[in-house]
């Protein structure tokens, strides 16, 4: 729908003659290089320096408009008024749906252009009004204690790569000359907290971990999605700040991967060089250090000291010119120097903001993100004609549980309570009481809720956490640890609340909100049905209601492993991947990566290979069948994992290498296939080098990571087959 309407928009663009050109850089018929060089040649040193900060001032004598580079669209256009709010990034990853992510990227870019056009018309050029979006966050979510893990696509480099590439392609568009919006990969490259140490912390990573886990998603976004920007992290990596890292920024990013976009600091990061990392004495030295290493843009004001840096011989004007050559093309690609009305996206108007199709897309994404973790005795779906329901819990009517962080706002946000009420018969009796606070005991200890549970046919307890508890350094106002979580279970008061409810409830359905793994073995035992809803966006309540009452069959899969306890995790500050994520975990988890139940039942046939033995240069295809043996038409995420069983070095136990969503009617059987390339069989050695060794590989297909725990929880039985590489 978006593509068809978008083509119509392009066809009706009126012809508007170009204004007389004052300078060659304003002439769209010249090459990009010539336009950039002409603009640089006309600026003074002071004007050049001004263009290297995020709030770049206008140069009126040259007709260069003011521009603010900082904008956000993690799950919808953020911090700039009304917009469609999609599920938080971690929830979108739970859909395992790349086509959906591409459509979401397209929708966001249309709203972004509409908002930008309105801003230009009204002379508004402030922060969060531009077209350079500092999204997505493709850091690997290695530890559930990290408050910003909710911004990522989970713990797996392959899933993160596929979701991220699709999103960026949708966001940036496919016009041959112009970007519709500019995406950015952050935070390059080894960054996962702790939040309260990020301005001084040194993340130590082996070359094997770096190339096996931390770098693949960045590489995919640069090479495949042609992402326009990359943002350096606050911390140091192996002793060197990420915004002045010759190996990561030049040898890897520019030379090995061929990145030709712009590199920007995280905001205020250059002051960390002397205040946190204590590597230089002052701002002038910090500015020169970052500029000389290839940081093109400073989010902050430290680069204003570059004039002093040049005078002191710490850097040169030619070095400034070099960085401008890498920075300025983005503004030209966005059409920011073209006469208004000549860029094909200039006609996108406010009717695209929260367009009906976008709102429906948000609902679809939220429904596909919901993960069913338990459904004892087919408690779900609930009959809409049920006589009585009791809705309770601290997140039932909690807007923050929908929004997550980096959010926009909407006039139509559906809470869990509203979504439940919308799905039941008018004759159903519904009672609601919050029952418990978010993370502290009730000040009034009287129990006025369990009695209602006792007389209700079904009790739906909405618990969990929100952006008030987990998030970025300073935004989570209820956090006791700068947005991170010291513990990863539910707050103790919520556990006690559920115990009281459980003691009297006939049927207990628990809905958990959150942006990270929650260790909840007690809740799993207490609940008759358990649903994980993430931070599901503006339509999240309706999506959860649709799932609980059977309008939608759940199909979400976990993009992260849920440990049983924080004691099962290595120290938070340890960046080694040993005993982290499903690929290296040593203890059985509470819920495994890729896990998620359905109201239907799926079975996998025995897989087959196009060849059982291949040469190291050959690809092979694996074939399989999936049958819906249940009563509901439903979707299943078919997952492909590979294990190298004869590797000469330590390798992941399992590695996700493919996934597909299949929708089947009851009784229907469908075939699927995956191509396995030589690159998918490569290992990473201790030097970070990739190599394909001859030997035996196990190929698994199923609905979750192939593990005993998956089967214990009711996942469809996975199938395996051996492949030999000569």
User: In which band, very low, low, confident or very high, does the pLDDT at 705 lie, cut at 50, 70 and 90?
Assistant: very high
Q: What is the CATH number of domain 602-725?
A: 2.60.40.10
Cα radius of gyration (the chain): 26
> Boundaries of CATH 2.60.40.10 in the chain?
602-725
pLDDT for the residue numbered 21? 52
The rounded distance, in Å, linking the Cα atoms of 695 and 656 is 19
Euclidean distance between CA atoms 79 and 72, whole angstroms: 7
| Residue 17 reports pLDDT greater than 50 | no
Instruction: For the beta carbon of residue 318, count every other beta carbon within 10 angstroms.
Output: 8
Burial of 339 (0-12, 13-18, 19+ CB in 10 A): middle
Amino acid 619: pLDDT? 98
- Write out 294-347 in H/E/C secondary structure: CCCEECCCHHHHHHHHHHCCCCCHHHHHHHHHHHHHHHHHCCCCCCCCCCCCCC
Encode pLDDT of 503-522 as tens digits. Answer: 999 999 999 999 999 999 99
Rounded average pLDDT over 558-579: 97
CATH assignment of 2-352, among 3.40.50.1000, 3.40.50.11540, 3.30.70.260, 3.20.20.300: 3.20.20.300
Q: Fill in the DSSP letter of residue 507.
A: S
Q: What is the mean pLDDT of residues 64-88?
A: 97
Quote the mean pLDDT of the chain. 96
**370-560: CATH class:** alpha beta
The owner of tokens 């059985």 is: 588
pLDDT at 713 exceeding the cut of 80: yes
Residue range(s) in the chain whose domain bears CATH number 3.20.20.300: 2-352
Cα separation, 70 vs 392, whole angstroms: 40
Instruction: Please give the average per-residue pLDDT across 478-499, as a whole number.
Output: 96
Catalytic residues: 266, 470
Which pLDDT does position 474 carry in this prediction? 87
The arithmetic mean of pLDDT across residues 317-326, rounded, is 98
- DSSP string computed for 559-593: SS-B-S-GGGSPPTT----TT-HHHH--S--SB-T
Which residue has tokens 């009695």?
A: 451
Range(s) of the chain covered by CATH 3.40.50.1700: 370-560
* Segment 114-132 mean pLDDT: 95
């Amino acid at each position: 729908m978006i593509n068809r309407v978008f083509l119509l928009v392009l066809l009706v663009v009126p012809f508007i003659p170009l204004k007389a050109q004052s300078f060659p850089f304003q002439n769209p018929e010249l090459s990009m290089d010539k336009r950039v060089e002409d603009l640089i040649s006309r600026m003074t040193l002071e004007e050049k320096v001004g263009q290297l900060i995020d709030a770049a001032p206008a140069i009126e004598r040259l007709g260069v408009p003011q521009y603010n580079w900082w904008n956000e669209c993690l799950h919808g256009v953020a911090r700039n008024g009304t917009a469609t709010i999609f599920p938080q990034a971690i929830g979108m990853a739970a859909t395992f749906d790349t086509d959906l992510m591409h459509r979401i990227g397209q929708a966001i870019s249309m709203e972004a252009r509409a908002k930008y056009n309105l801003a230009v018309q009204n002379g508004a050029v402030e922060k969060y009004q531009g077209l350079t979006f500092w999204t997505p966050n493709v850091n690997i979510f290695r530890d559930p204690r990290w408050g910003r893990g909710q911004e990522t696509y989970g713990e797996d480099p392959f899933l993160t790569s596929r979701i991220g590439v699709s999103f960026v392609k949708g966001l940036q568009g496919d016009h041959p000359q112009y970007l519709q919006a500019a995406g950015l990969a952050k935070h390059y490259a080894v960054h996962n907290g702790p939040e309260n140490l990020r301005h001084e912390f040194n993340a130590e990573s082996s070359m094997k971990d770096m190339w096996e886990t931390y770098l693949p998603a960045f590489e995919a976004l640069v090479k495949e999605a042609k992402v326009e920007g990359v943002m350096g992290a606050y911390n140091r990596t192996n002793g060197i700040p990420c915004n002045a890292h010759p190996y990561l920024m030049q040898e890897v990013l520019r030379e090995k991967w061929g990145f030709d976009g712009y590199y920007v600091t995280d905001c205020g990061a250059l002051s960390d060089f002397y205040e946190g990392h204590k590597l230089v004495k002052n701002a002038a030295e910090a500015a020169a250090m970052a500029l000389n290493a290839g940081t093109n843009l400073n989010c902050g004001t430290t680069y204003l000291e570059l004039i002093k840096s040049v005078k002191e011989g710490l850097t040169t004007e030619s070095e400034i010119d070099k960085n401008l050559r890498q920075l300025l093309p983005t503004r030209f690609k966005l059409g920011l120097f073209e006469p208004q009305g000549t860029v094909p996206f200039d006609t996108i108007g406010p009717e695209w903001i929260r367009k009906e199709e976008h709102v429906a897309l948000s609902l679809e994404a939220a429904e596909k993100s919901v993960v069913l973790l338990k459904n004892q005795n087919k408690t779900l779906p609930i009959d809409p004609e049920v006589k009585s329901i009791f809705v309770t819990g601290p997140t039932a009517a909690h807007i923050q549980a929908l929004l997550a962080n980096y959010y926009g706002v909407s006039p139509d946000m559906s809470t869990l309570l509203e979504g439940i009420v919308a799905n039941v018969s008018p004759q159903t009796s519904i009672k609601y009481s919050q029952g418990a606070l978010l993370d502290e005991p009730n000040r009034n200890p009287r129990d006025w809720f369990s009695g209602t549970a006792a007389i209700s046919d079904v009790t739906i307890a909405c618990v969990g956490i929100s952006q008030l508890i987990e998030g970025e350094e300073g935004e989570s106002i209820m956090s006791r640890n700068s947005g991170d979580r010291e513990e990863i279970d539910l707050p103790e008061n919520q556990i006690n609340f559920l115990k009281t409810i459980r003691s009297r409830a006939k049927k207990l359905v628990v809905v958990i909100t959150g942006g990270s793994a929650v260790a909840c073995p007690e809740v799993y035992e207490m609940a008759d049905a358990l649903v994980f809803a993430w931070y599901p966006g503006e339509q999240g309540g309706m999506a959860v209601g649709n799932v609980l009452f059977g309008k939608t069959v759940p199909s979400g899969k976990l993009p992260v492993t849920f440990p049983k306890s924080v004691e099962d995790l290595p120290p938070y500050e340890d960046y080694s991947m040993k005993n982290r994520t499903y690929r290296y975990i040593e203890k059985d988890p509470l819920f495994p990566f890729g896990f998620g139940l359905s109201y239907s039942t799926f079975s996998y046939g025995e897989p087959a290979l196009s060849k059982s033995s291949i040469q190291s240069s050959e690809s092979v295809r694996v074939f399989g069948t999936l049958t819906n043996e249940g009563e509901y038409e439903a979707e299943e995420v078919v997952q492909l994992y590979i294990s190298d069983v004869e590797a000469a070095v330590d390798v992941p136990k399992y590695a996700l290498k493919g996934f597909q969503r299949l929708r089947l009617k009851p009784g229907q059987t469908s075939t699927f296939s995956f191509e396995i390339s030589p690159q998918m069989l490569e290992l990473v050695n201790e030097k970070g080098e990739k190599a394909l060794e001859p030997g035996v590989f196990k190929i698994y297909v199923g609905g979750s990571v192939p593990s005993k725990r998956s089967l214990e929880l009711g996942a469809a039985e996975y199938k395996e087959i051996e492949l030999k590489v000569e």
